[in-house]
Structure 1
Amino acid sequence: MTRVPLAVLALVALASPASAQDHSAHQAEPDPHAGHDMSAPKAADPHAGHDMSGPKAADPHAGHTMPATDAPAAEPDAMDDVDHSTMDHSTMDHGADADAPPSPGPDMETPPPPEAGSGPPRAADAIWGADAMRASRRDLQQTHGDYNLFWFQADRAELQIRDGANGYLWDIQGFYGGTTSKFWFKSEGEGSFGEAIDDVEIQALYSRAIAPFFDLQAGIRQDLAGPDTTYAVVGLQGLAPYMFELDAALFLSHRGDLTARLEAELDQRITQRLIVQPRAELNLAAQDVPQLGIGAGVDSFEIGVRLRYEIIREIAPYIGIEQNWRVGRSADFARAAGDDASVTNYVVGIRFWF
């Protein structure tokens, strides 16, 4: 007769009460692992390591005697007690979704029907007819678009206070025409009180838009003070980036003298009504013109700044200071005529337009 070790008998004796527990009530309880093949070799059993049939099985209901009942037990969520962190998803069948494209999001709006865009380019033509609407659009363009306009501006009308004789200056311009073609007129002049006018010029120009902010101008210029001189003019006027107002022109006199002028202004608002305006002007010559006191190269340049206050948009008095230099041969001509080659002017004036 085989002798059983006392240790084995002790373990059997301890396990007997657990194996004798009544689990009949649990047979009606749905298996929380239903649908999972527990025999799959790679499936991660959340109860791995617990032999439910062996004497060492750790019953999760140990110590709780659940009475049998005919009432069906409340069905728990089959996945509530599953620890997904330890599950091996490599054995799951995801083949049904493997080839599915990623979702594009919410359904797009219904595409337009095939006949969309096959009608007239303007919807009103389909109702009133193209002929009636053509006349209407022409009238609208003439009323609110390309119609002739008159504009006049005195950019500088000022008194100049300087050492010696005080003087005056005007610089006016304007146009009449449409948005692309205009007739421009310009006039500049200056002098000293009690003396003959130093310079007077009048320009008549045809202007044609060549860019959204620039016009190409061509015409004639007539000088009325000093030696009578007539010029052919080709110029460019407009608004450069950063709001610089530019006016550049070439002048060819009837004697064959070629000169050029470049003006630039910039309006900088300090407040809604107070504006500071730096201004610069450069005059050039291709050759000496002794009868006009002009030397070859840089004839003269001036730099100034004006501070104006807009009483209304169309009327703005101003004060300022301006420095004028004659250089090179032009300075020599000025000294020979008894004039200063460098002059500082304190100015008081008014700018207006309508």
Structure 2
Amino acid sequence: MKRIPALAFALVAPAAWAQHEGHDMSSMQGMPGMSAEEHARMMQQPQPPSPSPALPPPTAEERARAFPDLDGMDMREHMDDDPFIATLAFDRLEAFRDDDANGLAWELHGWAGGRRDRFEWRSRGERIGGDTRDGELELLWSHATGPWWNRTLGVRHDFGEGEHRDWLALGVEGMAPYKIDIAATLYAGEDGIGARAEASYDLLLTQRLVLQPRLEADAYAGHDAPRDSFEAGLRLRYEFTRQFAPYFGYEWSTTGMHGGGAGGHWVAGIRGWF
């Protein structure tokens, strides 16, 4: 009968040793006084799961099964990273009263093309008392130099009561930090050179009510060149939709655009695009 405990110990010892074989016993060092109960609780803690093996990349047959041709309705053929898009925008289409005469001012632009390269056109000017003053038309090629900036190159034609002039145009346009829209253009003509800088910012008072301050400076040099001018405007618009927003505001200018000198007037108009 004395051989039974020895035999039981021989059978249980390998299993106990296998249970403790996967544990790092180095963590037990430096823990004097740990009881058997505490040691048992520590041994019962769940071990971190082993990392799952990496999945192999899908084969061509698996891709074909995942994206089958649905009788000519395979959407992969219709997906384009650079689609052709065309738009027309009315940045300013407004009425005002100046020198006891009714006036109408416009600033339009449109473009057609892709994300990186597109054809762009712009027009601006005003009519006072039925006569067109300082009208402009620009035809430009626009190339994206980054996610926020475009480079433009083209021609500009002046029309109206003043001299009809033609210019080469080179500029940049885009969005500066703090979401400030900026455009700067250099002009070169037969009788002079010029430059224009514009900046505007949309301040959201509510989800639909937007206050827009705007600055513009024009400078020219040469024989029979347009006069220098500076404009500052503040317009408050209400966006019924993103495509349609009536507004009113006040604009102040120094020379040229409103018959010379300096002065300001109230404006009311519509902003939209489609």
After TM superposition, the score normalised by the length of structure 1 is: 0.58
2:50 aligns with 110
Is the alpha carbon distance of 1:127 and 1:347 closer, same or farther for their aligned partners in structure 2, counting shifts above 3 Å? Answer: closer
1:345 maps to a residue whose letter is: H
Structure 2 SS opposite 1:292: coil
Residue 182 (structure 1) aligns with: 118
Deviating above 6 A after TM superposition, structure 1's stretches of 4 or more consecutive aligned residues are 129-133
Return the alpha-carbon distance in structure 2 between the equivalents of residues 215 and 180 of structure 1: 8
Aligned AA for 2:232? I
Q: Which string of whole-angstrom CA distances, capped at 9 and with x for unpartnered residues, describes residues 134-156 of structure 1? A: x96752532xx421111111100
1:312 Cα deviation (Å)? 2.6
Opposite residue 85 of structure 2, the aligned amino acid is: L
CA distance in 2, matches of 1:111, 1:305: 62
- The number of residue pairs the alignment matches comes to 233
**Unaligned ranges ≥5, structure 1:** 1-94, 327-333
Which of the pair has more CA radius of gyration?
A: 1
Change (3 A) 1:267 1:253: same
Q: Is 1:141 aligned to residue 118 of structure 2? A: no
Cα 1:125–1:303, aligned 2, differ >3 Å: closer, same or farther?
Answer: farther
SS in 2 for 1:312: coil
- 1:348 is matched with 268
Q: Distance in 2 between matches of 1:302 and 1:237?
A: 19
Q: Which residue of 2 aligns with 1:264?
A: 199
Aligned to 1:155: 91
Higher relative contact order (CA 8 A, sep 6+): 2
- Please point out which of 179, 182, 193 is paired with 1:246: 182
Deviation at 1:125, TM superposition (A): 6.2
TM-score normalized with structure 2 length: 0.74
Partner residue of 2:158 out of 223, 230, 234: 223
Match of 2:147 in 1: 212
Distance 1:247 1:254 in 2: 23
Aligned counterpart, 2:38: none
Contact 2:193 2:222 in 1 (8 A): no
CA RMSD of aligned residues (A): 3.1
Counterpart mapping for 1:272-291 below 5 A: 272-285=207-220, 287-289=221-223, 291=224
Residue type at the aligned position of 2:79: Q
1:323 to 245, 248, 252: 252
Cα distance in 2 for residues equivalent to 1:282 and 1:124: 60
CA distance in structure 2 between the partners assigned to 1:303 and 1:203 by the alignment: 22
Q: Which has the higher strand share?
A: 2
Tell me, in whole angstroms, the C-alpha distance in 1 between the residues paired with 2:98 and 2:259: 13
Q: Which residue number corresponds to residue 307 of structure 1? A: 236
Q: Quote the residue 2:35 is aligned against.
A: none
- What secondary structure does 2:51 align onto? coil
Are 1:97 and 2:17 counterparts? no
